[in-house]
Structure 1
Amino acid sequence: MSSTTTISHEKLVRLIGTPASPLLIDVRIDEDFALDPRLIPGSRRRSHRDVESWVHDLAGERAIVICQQGKKLSEGTAALLRYNGVPAETLDGGYEAWVTAGLPAVPVSRLPALDQKGRTVWVTRARPKIDRIACPWLIRRFVDPDAVFLFVTPAEVEAVAERFNAAPFDIENVFWSHRDELCTFDVMIEEFGLTSDPLSRLATIVRGADTARPDLAPEAPGLLAASLGLSRMFADDLEQLEAGMTLYDAFYRWCRDATDETHNWPNRKPGA
């Protein structure tokens, strides 16, 4: 009989990148983590030794616990979480099974420094449009669900980045920016090791909308129109970002699950 407290990597990979994704807790010991310092997308590092100190941060959430092989560390941690009222499962086979299956993993060397609450902090130009909504969506869904985004006057982005220890993005002459014909969204997918067919398809749409290349994808003009519409609907950049998250959730799910589906008005003849 299969366990009711484990999840397979096949099921987990379908949840990652969606609003329904559970919290992913990586409890690998330092020695195992040092052998492959990458994270399953969206996961965060925690120690199994001090569960009681961070379990209250998970209130109201569902958690998946990940150790090296899906054995004692994840089993024990998940059991403690359940004891404290947090629905928790373990990843069957652990991190080893995930990478053996060839699934994406995010190199921690690419993550910006964390703030005192363990979050990455990012800063870019105010009044975000396509790339500056797509990138936060990618980060929140695949890199750091708790990431903080600051939108400031364009001329102050780099100064704010330095003073507030934030990673600047989508401005000139910084690491997280356009490269040749690639958008910042393309760059983040590559640098974070997140390349997949759905994200590559979405990246082409974003690139077409962001660089006035509607020929790249038939959907690019639609994304441009929706993005410009959102910018007219919201005066507050953070409210616009939250609305944009839903927009990119929908585009991602189309790229992943619905590209072959069509919809036509029924054209039925009488008696058919």
Structure 2
Amino acid sequence: MSSPTMISIEKLARLIGTPNSPALIDVRNDEDFELDPRLIPGSARRSHTDIRNWRAELTGRSAIIICHHGSKLSHGTAAWLRHEGVPSEVLDGGFEAWAAAGLPAVPVSKLPKPDPQGRTVWVTRARPKIDRIACPWLIRRFVDPHAVFLYVTPSEVQAVGERFDAEPFDIEDVFWSHRGELCTFDVMVEEFGLASEALLRLATIIRGADTARLDLAPQAPGLLAASLGLSRIYADDLAQLEAGMGLYDAFYRWCRDATDETHNWPSSKAAA
């Protein structure tokens, strides 16, 4: 019988990528982490020995603690957090069970160097439309929930990236950019090891809207229209990003859970 302080990999997989996902804390020691240097999407590495310094980050949130096997490190860390008033569960079977199930995991080698607060920092062109909202959504939901995004004049993206240690994306001649027929969102899904059925379906819609190939998916014209509408509503790029997070949350949930659902307004008139 499962413990009320544990969560299954199946249940966790349903929470990841949603706005209400708990904080995911990976407490594997260095030796175990080096066996598979990847992270469950959206998780952050923390040392259990330093718990008193980082537990304040979890104020007002619940947490799921991940270790190698789901044993002493995660159980002890979760117990300490509960003692500090942070609702906490342990991932049953730990990272090893997650990996054995073939679930997506993010290679740490692909992550930009974090800033002193532990956040990844990204920079791109101002006045975003599709890719430059979709990619931040993907990063915040599946890679780094606390990621920082800087929108700057197009000619200054590279220089700002160098001066402020920010990773440039969706501009020419950088790693995180279009490749052939793929848009930057496609590249991030692949490079971050996030190729689930739902995200691949969403990537096709985004590619269609972002590259003027609206025939790729029936939903692409709708995403294009909504994206252009948001760009007209918001003069501030960060305000547009916050509004766009809800838009992509909805598209993702449709891609994951609602593709077979239809809607109609049946007539209440009696048959003649």
TM range (shorter): over 0.9
Q: Which amino acid aligns with 2:158?
A: E
| Secondary structure of 1:149 counterpart | strand
Q: Which amino acid aligns with 2:197?
A: D
| Secondary structure of 2:157 counterpart | helix
Determine the C-alpha separation between the residues in 2 that align with 1:127 and 1:231.
7
Determine the C-alpha separation between the residues in 2 that align with 1:40 and 1:197.
17
State the partner residue of 1:160.
160
Aligned length: 272
| Secondary structure of 2:68 counterpart | coil
1:2 CA drift (Å): 2.4
State the partner residue of 1:121.
121
1:267 CA drift (Å): 2.7
1:77-117: CA deviations, max 9, x gaps?
00000000100000000000000011000000000000000
1:35-57: CA deviations, max 9, x gaps?
11000000000001111111111
Determine the C-alpha separation between the residues in 2 that align with 1:211 and 1:267.
40
State the partner residue of 2:259.
259
1:164 CA drift (Å): 0.4
Which deviates more from structure 2 when the two are superposed, residues 39-48 or residues 258-267?
A: 258-267
State the partner residue of 1:52.
52
1:5-37: CA deviations, max 9, x gaps?
000000000000000110000000000001110
Which deviates more from structure 2 when the two are superposed, residues 258-267 or residues 191-200?
A: 258-267
| Secondary structure of 1:205 counterpart | helix
Structure 2, gaps ≥5 residues long:
none
State the partner residue of 2:2.
2
Alignment of 1:142-221 (within 5 A): 142-221=142-221
CA RMSD of aligned residues (A): 0.9
1:125-171: CA deviations, max 9, x gaps?
00111000000000000000000000000000000000000100000
Q: Which amino acid aligns with 1:28?
A: R
1:269 CA drift (Å): 4.2
1:180-216: CA deviations, max 9, x gaps?
0000000000000000110000000000000000100
Determine the C-alpha separation between the residues in 2 that align with 1:160 and 1:235.
21
State the partner residue of 1:250.
250
Q: Which amino acid aligns with 1:251?
A: F
Q: Which amino acid aligns with 1:257?
A: D
| Secondary structure of 1:90 counterpart | strand
Q: Which amino acid aligns with 2:91?
A: L
Q: What TM-score, normalized by structure 1, do the two folds share?
A: 0.99
Determine the C-alpha separation between the residues in 2 that align with 1:141 and 1:240.
17
State the partner residue of 1:80.
80
State the partner residue of 1:34.
34
1:118 CA drift (Å): 0.3
Determine the C-alpha separation between the residues in 2 that align with 1:133 and 1:54.
29
Determine the C-alpha separation between the residues in 2 that align with 1:239 and 1:62.
26
| Secondary structure of 1:122 counterpart | strand
1:271 CA drift (Å): 5.8
| Secondary structure of 1:65 counterpart | strand
Q: Does 1:97 align with 2:111?
A: no
Determine the C-alpha separation between the residues in 2 that align with 1:105 and 1:54.
23
| Secondary structure of 1:182 counterpart | coil
Determine the C-alpha separation between the residues in 2 that align with 1:68 and 1:196.
23
